[in-house]
Amino acid sequence: MDWKFKHFNQEAVFKASPESVLEAARAVVAESLEGIENTTEGFIARGYIAWHAAIATFRIMPAPEGTKLTVELLVERAALRGYMLFDVGSYYNGQIDKWFSGISQRLGEIPEQILVRKTTSNIRVQRGCLMGCLVYLLVGTCLAILAIPLDRALFRGASGATLGPFGVVASALGLLAGVAAFLYVTNPDAPASKFVRERLHRGHHGDSI
């Protein structure tokens, strides 16, 4: 996992020539990002999106249906307004969608006929976020049910408004469980993920014997 940049990758195929798609993409992206630099495959644009520094790489290549445009958007997680762990509300993927829509409008009067297809590679990340939040809520709630009575019984200063030592530990364990679930879903080929699957597989077969 890249702790400095949040990665967003999408691609779309337009029914137009590479030159037309490249020209339309430059014009649309220039409205939101500055510092456009040409490359052999397309161009790179730099600027700020929602107070986060961003670098967008656009690559053009021929496709059977027309021209394929690949976008890789890198957004710095750290900003003045805080640290971005998740893309809440899919804001940055929505930004790429806006670029594709703007390119379609510049290429023709009917965008639906210009944009042949669009694919997004962040489905695994979305599933990981959902799983991580669910695990955090379940584990944190279950541990809190045990921790709060212990804090009140052993520490007189603990109340419903403040967390006692057991409550802090319960919250931390719930957060760690949520992060572990997120990493497990988003990185299924990692050694730790494979180890967990093997243990679960052995435990399942051991119970069935």
List, for residues 101-129, the tens digit of each pLDDT value. 899 889 885 555 566 666 655 556 666 77
β-bridge partners, 11: 70, 119
**pTM beyond 0.75, yes or no:** no
Instruction: Give the integer Cα–Cα distance in Å for 174 and 53.
Output: 31
Instruction: Give the integer Cα–Cα distance in Å for 94 and 71.
Output: 13
Specify whether the CB–CB gap between 116 and 65 falls below 8 A: yes
pLDDT exceeds cutoff 80 at 20 = yes
Query: Of the CATH numbers 3.20.20.150, 3.30.530.20, 3.30.465.10, 3.40.50.720, which one belongs to the domain with range 5-121?
Result: 3.30.530.20
Instruction: Give the integer Cα–Cα distance in Å for 206 and 209.
Output: 5
pLDDT exceeds cutoff 70 at 206 = no
pLDDT exceeds cutoff 60 at 180 = yes
With tokens 């969608």, the residue in question is: 97
Tens digit of each residue's pLDDT (9 = 90 or more) over 71-80: 999 998 887 7
User: What residues contact 160, with CB distance under 8 A and at least 6 apart?
Assistant: 148
User: In the chain, which segments carry CATH 3.30.530.20?
Assistant: 5-121
